[in-house]
Amino acid sequence: MADTPTLPPPLDPREKPILESLQRIRDELTLLKTDRTTYVKSSDVLPLYDKVVDQVELLNDVRIDKPQETNQGWAKLSHVKSTAPLTRITVVDRVLDGCFQLLSLFFMTIGRNNEAPAAYALSSTIKRLLDHLTEVDLYSAKDLVHLSSTLEKLRVIVKNADGTYSEKLITLLANRIEVCQGLLSNLQSRLDRLGGDLPSTHEKLISILRSISLANTKTKFSTSEVQKLQAQAKDIDAQRVDGNFATAAGEVPVGNDVVCALLNKCLMWSGTVLERKGEMPEPFRERYQVLVDIRNKLEKLSLTQAWSLRETDLYDYQRQLDKIDESRVDGNFVDAEGKFAELYVQRTFLYLIRRSYAYIYYLMVSSEPVSEALLPVYNQLQTLRRCLIEVKNSGGVTSPRELYPYSMKLNSIDNMRVDGKFMVGDDVPEGQGSVNDLLAECFELSYDLRVAAESENEPEE
């Protein structure tokens, strides 16, 4: 997916060769991304990372006498407000962002998830999600808990990487994480305004609202499904006394107005959705279909990711979503003539974009620190582990013979190792520790089950 073509050219003619070099590197990364004939290796990715860092150094040298441009370019990439005079982000900054985004996803693909470059793409997605949650003010405590945990992990990764990777990249990532933390803290403070039993009511209403939006964007619209969700909202409405959510003592808790406004939005949205029945106005229909297709493909990937996802596949989805999200004017979607979309279109688009970013986030955090070369073995071991745990939780086996299929599979995987390593040709793919630990855990589960079965079958004295 090409970057937005409307960005201004380099501000300094000396940046032109840097732009051309970055474009060539991005083309190399794109070709590597699309090549499915072999797995991606560290030796494919690290030289390209070094090339990008070299161009960053050259860019900094060009802009050294114009700190407002250096600071502003990197500030925009890290989503930090620069104290320097405002300058427009140029195509150089955007292509540089594309290179780092691709490199970040490649680091996940080769199993180096816990190294600083891998944090770039994930922090970008977290920032997008937090921006959307702040904008629409529709989120639950569960949303924030997971994001907070992921940010803390990224903070540790970046801190431990100091001195290992480019100082500029480490600074950019550290700034981006702190910006995300500030947004997260602000969102948490909004939830803290709810008193009494309002947090649980608020969370239930958020769930209903999202379910209505999901029903609204299904290929086949179901009136009965939305009506059931509307009935749930009306049941909550019936709990109000004189229009307020009161405590057992008859007091109106803090945050009552917030939850009442959310309930009213829920009732109004259900009514609008029942009226429109998923029909999108013609000027926005094509863009709507693009967003629905992206959401559906990402949803499918979330179900099959262990077997079908190469993390770099997410790049094209990100770029498509970014382009649509950034096409808004004053926060509103516009048609070809520049007219603002009505509220129904606005809310539907924002839901689809937010949901798609959420899927991308899920796919990134679910990525295993294992090279794609070892994923087939790793996934087989994951399946074996789940089966053995299920057998154990179901009461174990009555005879060691029942464990033969598991033992044979484990031994066949164990025999693939050469000097304790899983090799692919002469290469030792990343993620050896994770695969070996999982293999050891499976052997231990199998051993415990066999010992338990033998003990049961021993004759009593």
For 355-406, the pLDDT digits (tens) are 999 999 999 999 989 999 999 999 999 999 999 999 999 998 888 899 999 9
Q: Let me know if residue 235 belongs to a domain.
A: yes
**Rounded distance between C-alpha atoms, residue 126 and residue 210, angstroms:** 19
- Choice between 77 and 293, residue whose per-residue pLDDT is larger: 293
Looking at 279, 309, 333, which one is the last position of a domain? Answer: 279
Exposure on the CB side of residue 395, measured as CA atoms within 13 A? 3
Q: Is residue 314 part of a domain?
A: no
3-state secondary structure of 332: strand
Number of folded domains that form the chain: 2
Residue 247 in any domain: the answer is yes
End residue of a domain, out of 256, 279, 302:
279
DSSP 8-class letter at 276: H
Q: Which band of pLDDT confidence, cut at 50, 70 and 90, is reported for residue 12?
A: confident
Whether 193 is covered by a domain: the verdict is no
Which spans in 327-371 are helix H? Answer: 343-365
Tell me what pLDDT residue 7 has.
66
Phi, psi of 418 (to 5 degrees): -120, 115
Question: Is 37 within the bounds of a domain?
Answer: no
Cβ-contact 44, 37 below 8 angstroms: no
334 secondary structure, DSSP code: B
* Closest residue by Cα to residue 19 from 62, 82, 49, 50: 62
Task: Please check whether residue 367 lies inside any domain of the structure.
Answer: no
How far is Cα 96 from Cα 26, in angstroms, rounded to an integer?
Answer: 9
Q: What is the mean pLDDT of residues 320-330?
A: 93
Range of the domain at 445: 375-457
pLDDT bracket for residue 87 (50, 70, 90): very low
pLDDT of residue 461: 44
Which of 233, 262, 279 delimits the end of a domain? 279
CA pair distance 254, 373, nearest whole angstrom: 54
Q: What is the mean pLDDT of residues 29-34?
A: 94
The predicted structure's pLDDT at residue 460: 52
**Predicted local confidence at residue 5, as pLDDT:** 43
Mean of per-residue pLDDT scores for the chain:
89
Helix H or strand E segment including 87: none
| Predicted TM-score (pTM) of this structure | 0.89
Query: In the chain, what percentage of residues exceed pLDDT 70?
Result: 92
The whole-angstrom separation of Cα 43 and Cα 53 is 16
Of the candidates 256, 204, 210, the one whose C-alpha atom is nearest the C-alpha of residue 233 is 204
Whether residue 131 lies inside any domain: the answer is no
